[in-house]
Amino acid sequence: MGRVKPASHDPIQRLTELRNGLLKLHTVLLHSERALYERDIQRIRSSHQFLDLVLNDPAFAWLRVLSQLVVLIDETLEAEEAPGAAEANRLVRRVRELLSPADTSGVFESRYLAALQRDPDAILAHAAAMELLHRLE
């Protein structure tokens, strides 16, 4: 098994990797939540309906925390002043705290743990995200 390449110390590169890793996890969780919705509530018949559910249905509301973090990272990357190491460190810590919380009583935390328990793809995506966070710290 090959060695994992260490993460760049460049804040822009670190934040880009963080964003991309978070998007992969978000995509897996969306698919997982869609399968649960279709199993328990009703079949989703179109991409338009799915987008409407993601934006407006309470069943998908917990995932908006991840969406908002991706947007925050995007805004940081697109700011007039390039982000520094401190800003990159802060965002990496924020993602780590979200994905490995000390308190699991919040809505995101409890739904995230439930997804990890029911969906092997979610577990794999979580493991990849945690490995990425380890490299970015």
The enclosing H or E element of 118 equals helix 107-118
Per the CB < 8 A criterion, the answer to whether 95 and 65 are in contact is no
**What type of residue is 46?**
S
Asked whether residue 62 is domain-assigned, the answer is yes
Number of structural domains the chain divides into:
1
Encode pLDDT of 21-66 as tens digits: 999 999 999 999 999 999 999 999 999 999 999 999 999 999 999 9
Which of 9-23, 58-72, 97-111, 112-126 has the least mean pLDDT? 97-111
Q: Which structural domain, as residue segments, surrounds residue 73?
A: 11-136
Asked whether residue 72 is domain-assigned, the answer is yes
Per the CB < 8 A criterion, the answer to whether 15 and 83 are in contact is yes
